[in-house]
Structure 1
Amino acid sequence: MAPRALDTLSTRIADAGAPGPDQLRDLYRMLSNVRQLDTAAVAWQRQGLIPGYAPMLGQEAAQVGAGAVVDTTRDFVFPTYREMGVAYTLGVNMVEYMSTHKALWHGGLYDPAATHFAPFQAVVGGSVLHAVGWAHGQTLNGASTVGLGVALAFLGDGASSQGDVHEAMNFAAILTAPVVFFVQNNGWAISVPTEQQVAGGSVAARAAGYGMPAVRVDGNDVLAVLDATRRAAAHARAGLGPVVVEAMTYRRGPHSTSDDPGRYRTLDDEKIDGGEDPLSRFRAVLLERGVADAAFFAEADAQAQTRADEIRDGVTALTSRPGSEMFDFVFQESTPTLGAQKRQWKEESEHV
């Protein structure tokens, strides 16, 4: 059976109690889909299909668990460049998502307004400012009968040292904005370990300085992440202000496909510090609860591989975008200077 659209599943998990057997199996399917696509994307870069990619190996549980809580009818996700797993969980078209990694479009060809998944970006900490602005807009508009829409802002432990993040958290607390700051502490800020760039060693501990609650959760446990994020979202949705969730996980691969982690850690370090694999861990949970068997896992993994192959075909078929688009989407209303630049570009590149 093909996995159901996760935008439907996420709403059910967001509003329900403990996940039932169908939801547990769906969560594993999504974890497997994300793992297969992430592995494939690294291979695509090595094969020359895409020029670059930011792997998320080891962070599947953190991203799927958090993404499954999002209500795509009212919440909005503000990602970094590594939240492919969240995008997949929300039902974002993965071919359109990968268009940026193919260097065809900045931020993805998908529609952010329809998917409630903002364009992803490489500005470290930049997405949290956008999240607070959007969330403050929710408070200005007033809560509906089902509560406020929540901004789920993703950032890493390295980004937490940025001044933009301090400003965003400070404003969110002052404005009582419905934001969940979801920190994936994967142990590394590129090549710098967390203990060398996060004073005190905990991002969650900083929340007290802004007068907001925080929770530190095992980021390799998809059910623990789901529960922590759901409680944080409920707090923000009720108008009680922002929350920090710090998911403790581990980046098992390089920072990006241009990075060589062997320059700053060994394979033994990765094995020791990485902890238990998130997929193996959840597989054991499902077996223990009797809601899945070996045949289910084999089928789910095979379907995930097929889906990754289909996405590869779609990415391969993507063609270059019209160059004039670099001028068309700068401002809602163009300016004389931009218009002149566009005309000059056409003359020089298209001989028009």
Structure 2
Amino acid sequence: MDTVQYLDDHGKPLRDIPLSNEELLQGYRALRRARHFDERALVLQRQGRLGVYPPFRGQEAAQVGVALCLKADHDWLLPSYRESAAALTFGMPISKLILSWRADPAGWGAPPDVNMVQFYIPIATQIPQAAGVAHAQRLLGKDAVAAVFIGDGGTSEGDFHEGLNFASVFNAPLLVVVQNNGWAISVPTQKQMKVPRIAQKAQGYGIPGVTVDGNDLVAVWSVAREAVARARKGEGPTLIEALTYRVAPHTSSDDPSRYRTEEETERWLKRDPILRMKNCLLHLGLWSEAQEAELMEALEGEFLAAVEEADQAREPKPWEIVEQVYQEMQPDQLAAWSYLRREA
């Protein structure tokens, strides 16, 4: 199975790029913004100002490229726990993300104009739910698309197969994005499955499956855009396998040196999605170091303002916890809500 790629490891275009100059610049800024958030979030965690945090360094393009194809107030995003980059690009405010990874109830939910479900921690449970969300869009007569993320390890769970089968049977407008970063915590992909490409699993459900260079933003964006267009036209789901690498630890509590070598990580660092995209812009004459410095200054200012906003978030009232369960409270939630208000 061929791997879709537009940029070589150094960022030089291999063929005509199907994106405009404005889109290339937009994409690079989104990558840089995601990386900046990830780096600063890890610092906050080390300072004791964030809970356990799952960094995504190295996987930015696999997430950003998909999120750029979606409309936050129309489509739906169902992220796993490592998709802060997708959430950020989709429209989640940085302050909300910070509060979420603080396990602060003030970080629960998304703004009204951002159709994102909270981060999923259990492995693969989001796949059948995403299929249901996508199917619901068709029943409502909308051309909205749902995009769901999962790791290579999650494809071994039953929920993955049930969700894909449902989406296939009902022709749901769903993008299932597998970030194949080589490791399910400490278990390498080759010990999880015999197929050389996860995208081949799509054949069992009669849906398109495509493997893309997950560190090539142009490739991911192009593949995701085509899948979104098919879904909007009623042509059903697509399974996208993004080949990438988790440069950082599995979480801020992990020690990857116990199960992988530094040489392996160094090889992937040379294919860094940020550097490749920056080199692409430089090659095309669209970027400069002055623009880089200006962007980084703006990103730092944005992040510091968001931290201050998160620090000043009010403490939620006890009864607000049950308000997050359903759009309209059911009898048991209403009873709990009434009780907590009385006891406050």
TM-score by length of 2: 0.88
How far, CA to CA, are the matches of 2:334 and 2:258 in structure 1? 44
How far, CA to CA, are the matches of 2:216 and 2:231 in structure 1? 23
Match of residue 333 from structure 1: 329
How far, CA to CA, are the matches of 2:97 and 2:296 in structure 1? 22
Change in Cα spacing, 1:48 to 1:236, as seen in structure 2 (3 Å) is same
Letter in 2 for 1:99: L
Secondary structure of 2:227's counterpart equals: helix
1:45-84 pair list within 5 angstroms: 45-84=45-84
Question: Which range moved further: 219-228 or 317-326?
Answer: 317-326
Any runs of at least 4 consecutive aligned residues in structure 1 with deviations exceeding 6 A, and if so which?
A: none
Task: For CA contacts below 8 A with separation 6 or more, give which structure has more relative contact order.
Answer: 2
Match of residue 88 from structure 1: 88
Paired residue for 1:185, among 157, 168, 180? Answer: 180
Match of residue 117 from structure 2: 118
Q: Deviations over 1:13-70 (max 9, x none)?
A: xxxx933223222221111111111001011011000122110100111111111111
Secondary structure of 1:308's counterpart equals: helix
Match of residue 200 from structure 2: 205
Change in Cα spacing, 1:90 to 1:337, as seen in structure 2 (3 Å) is closer
Secondary structure of 1:51's counterpart equals: coil
Identity rate, percent: 36
Match of residue 10 from structure 1: none
1:153-168 pair list within 5 angstroms: 153-168=148-163
TM-aligned CA deviation for residue 340 of structure 1? 6.0
Q: Deviations over 1:193-237 (max 9, x none)?
A: 111113313210100000011110000010100000001111111
Change in Cα spacing, 1:107 to 1:99, as seen in structure 2 (3 Å) is closer
- Contact 2:73–2:113 under 8 Å retained in 1: no
- Contact 2:180–2:243 under 8 Å retained in 1: yes
| C-alpha RMSD of the superposition | 2.2
Secondary structure of 1:324's counterpart equals: helix
Match of residue 298 from structure 2: 303
How far, CA to CA, are the matches of 1:193 and 1:56 in structure 2? 17
How far, CA to CA, are the matches of 1:77 and 1:168 in structure 2? 15
- Contact 1:107–1:120 under 8 Å retained in 2: no
- Contact 2:177–2:240 under 8 Å retained in 1: yes
Secondary structure of 1:269's counterpart equals: helix
Match of residue 14 from structure 1: none
TM-aligned CA deviation for residue 73 of structure 1? 4.2
Match of residue 279 from structure 1: 274
- Contact 1:67–1:90 under 8 Å retained in 2: yes
Match of residue 7 from structure 1: none
Which sections of structure 1, spanning at least 5 residues, go unmatched? 1-16
Match of residue 142 from structure 1: 141
TM-aligned CA deviation for residue 319 of structure 1? 4.1
How far, CA to CA, are the matches of 2:149 and 2:86 in structure 1? 10
Paired residue for 1:231, among 212, 226, 250? Answer: 226
Residue 248 in structure 1 maps to residue 243 in structure 2:
yes
Secondary structure of 2:195's counterpart equals: helix
Secondary structure of 1:99's counterpart equals: helix
- Contact 1:251–1:274 under 8 Å retained in 2: no
Q: Deviations over 1:126-156 (max 9, x none)?
A: 222221111111222335xxxx211111111
Residue 266 in structure 1 maps to residue 261 in structure 2:
yes
Question: Which range moved further: 183-192 or 100-109?
Answer: 100-109
Match of residue 34 from structure 1: 34
Match of residue 20 from structure 2: 20
Letter in 1 for 2:134: A
Letter in 1 for 2:152: D
Change in Cα spacing, 1:337 to 1:109, as seen in structure 2 (3 Å) is closer
Match of residue 102 from structure 1: 102
How far, CA to CA, are the matches of 1:127 and 1:336 in structure 2? 24
How far, CA to CA, are the matches of 2:173 and 2:183 in structure 1? 28
Secondary structure of 1:180's counterpart equals: strand
- Contact 2:322–2:336 under 8 Å retained in 1: no
Residue 321 in structure 1 maps to residue 313 in structure 2:
no
How far, CA to CA, are the matches of 1:341 and 1:110 in structure 2? 21
How far, CA to CA, are the matches of 1:76 and 1:140 in structure 2? 15
How far, CA to CA, are the matches of 1:340 and 1:61 in structure 2? 43
- Contact 1:29–1:304 under 8 Å retained in 2: no
Question: Which range moved further: 325-334 or 68-77?
Answer: 325-334
Match of residue 6 from structure 2: none
Question: Which range moved further: 259-268 or 287-296?
Answer: 259-268
How far, CA to CA, are the matches of 1:341 and 1:282 in structure 2? 50
